[in-house]
Amino acid sequence: MAYDDLRDWIAALDRAGELKKIKTEADPILEIAEITDRVSKRGGPALLFQNVKGYPGSKVLINQFGSARRMNLALDVDSLDQVAERIRGFMDVKSPQGFLDKVKMLPMLAEMGKFFPKTVSTGHCKEVILRDHFSLLDFPVLQCWPKDGGRFITLPCVVTRDPKTGKRNVGMYRIQVYDERTTGMHWQRQKVAAEHYRDRMRAVAVGADASRSAAVDLMARSSGGSQRADGDQPSGRMEVAVAIGTDPALTFSAIVPAPPDVEEYIIAGFLRQKPVELVKCETVDLEVPADAEIVLEGYVNLDELRTEGPFGDHTGFYSLEDQYPVFHVTCITHRKDPIYATTIVGKPPMEDAWMGKAVERIFLPLMKLTIPEIMDVNLPIEGVFHNLMIVSIRKSYPGQARKVMNAVWSLGQAMFTKCIIVVDEDVNVQDIADVTLKVLNHIDPERDIQFTMGPVDSLDHASRLANYGSKMGIDATRKWPTEGFTRPWPDEIVMDAKTKALVDGKWKALARELGIG
């Protein structure tokens, strides 16, 4: 059964032996991060810090998703393949051809109805409502690395609304705390919230042009010329809400590469198999999870940018300073004695690595829907997800590997993949040793490596320009005569099955003699 809220999830972690409660005093400035980094690198448990220096009574939850087992537990499955199978089942639904087909679809339609969020009158996040006297500094927000620009909220669910369609988006963007009531809002230009921001700016610009034209026309028709066109139009605002400390399915949904038209609240409902309950915000026209630990309400001005960063990022390097919108907090609501949920990113493996691998497994069926020849995909943790993708394909025609590379570069966030390696279906992409052996043996570098230019991840510090640079594809599939390769292709060395079975039958005795267990 899905978890009702963060506290229900924490209790489940505790029962499963996946949580350690830390009573030793720890400082949110660097110290909690250093402790968590050491625990994370050892594959350790989720941590609940109960004695946070400078914040008596506060609790900090971190590393909640930091293992394969905890990711399965978070989504209430034995294997992430179960979620992928459910997605595949919905994708296989065909249009009903007759009455009986429609009747057969009723159970599935009823199940789909469970995914949609519902608005309730109130929730735990409204236990304390602060409109006037509040400060972001009252929460134990971490500074994770020595050269960080300050404290950062690192596990927020940031809610915005599409000004054209009215659909909500829930994204996860780091938030640098500047002072008691303002923060940076680090939505990179390719993120959905950034597009909402640009759409708002376009709407304001169109409105300003229309107002200016009307004023000029009025001046032209006036006799006394006392009216004047004023080019200084209101800059406009965009409302934003931030939920901190939500149930694990919703927190995870904020990072998934969902189509822009599908709300993350629906994805969370699908993952948790029951709807997310939402409540209206106090000062902005947005809905937030009713049982969130903390909710920040406010707005960004469309004409206001401020330096944000540096920030120790998941690449293992600091992302550099840049200009981002400023979030002005107008109200804070929270549960009594709220638990502050956060994470730390840095050199892998860390907590975000397991979240990323979950995305890889769960959304493979959607990738196959667009690129059906794909058999499997591996985004190695050390490649920090946007630097390397290894793809195995069922090759059917010459040049297909290059077609797959270009198809991947056309897929949403996958467009930022710096290096794509394509191998044949008999290569286990999850086995890096096997991949390395086959790739380095199979390629002629000049023939099989291609380069292309295009958008790159904002965190790519090596690109020639910010957000724009080169990408590389490697065709490591067997080459065919129809691809201009006329030499014989050698067979892989594999022992015959009869001999292997013979040795298998003797292996226990041999192992004892050899002393290898």
pLDDT digits (tens, 9 = 90+) for 451-485: 999 988 888 888 999 889 999 999 999 999 999 99
Check whether residue 164 and residue 296 sit in a common domain.
yes
78 plus 124 within the same structural domain: yes
Among 212-226, 285-299, 375-389, which range has the highest average pLDDT?
A: 285-299
- Please check whether residues 426 and 337 belong to one and the same domain: no
Residue 69 lies in domain: 6-195+236-341
Q: Are residues 190 and 74 in the same domain?
A: yes
- Do 310 and 414 reside in the same domain of the chain? no
pLDDT for 226? 35
Q: Which two tokens stand for residue 235?
A: 């800059």
Residue 384: give its domain's CATH number: 3.40.1670.10
Q: Which of 162, 247, 291, 313 is catalytic?
A: 313
pLDDT above 70: residue 370: yes
The shares of helix, strand and coil residues in the chain, as percent rounded to the nearest 5, are 35, 25, 40
Q: Are 252 and 164 in the same domain? A: yes
Q: Would you say residue 441 lies in a domain?
A: yes
Same domain, 336 and 452: no
69 within a domain of the structure (yes/no): yes
Domain of 182, CATH number, reads 2.30.110.10
Catalytic, 313? Answer yes
Same-domain check for residues 479 and 396: yes
Q: Which of 291, 323, 341 is the last residue of a domain?
A: 341
| First-to-last C-alpha distance (Å) of the chain | 42
Asked, for residue 226, whether it belongs to a domain, the answer is no
Helix 351-362 and helix 80-91: axis angle, to 10°?
30
- Among 341, 360, 391, give the residue marking a domain's end: 341
- pLDDT at residue 336, rounded to an integer: 96
The pLDDT assigned to 156 comes to 97
Q: Do 336 and 386 share a structural domain? A: no
Mean pLDDT to the nearest integer, 367-379: 93
Exposure string over 177-192, b if 16+ CB within 10 A, otherwise e: bbeebbbbbbbbeebb
Does some domain include residue 154? yes
Number of domains in the chain: 2
pLDDT of residue 9: 97
73 and 174 inside one domain: yes
In a domain, 134, yes or no: yes
In this predicted model, which residue has the larger pLDDT, 2 or 207?
2
Residue 383: per-residue pLDDT: 87
- Give pLDDT, residue 206: 72
In a domain, 360, yes or no: no
pLDDT digits (tens, 9 = 90+) for 375-422: 999 999 888 888 999 999 999 999 999 999 999 999 888 899 999 999
**pLDDT score recorded for residue 413:** 84
What share of the chain in percent tops pLDDT 90?
Answer: 70
Alpha-carbon distance of 217 to 209, in angstroms, equals 12
Indicate if 12 and 143 belong to the same structural domain.
Answer: yes
Evaluate whether residue 280 is within a structural domain: yes
- Distance between CA atoms of 409 and 121, rounded to whole angstroms? 44
Same domain, 376 and 336: no
Q: Which amino acid is at 145?
A: W
Is residue 218 a part of any domain in this protein? no
Per-residue pLDDT, averaged over 83-100, amounts to 64
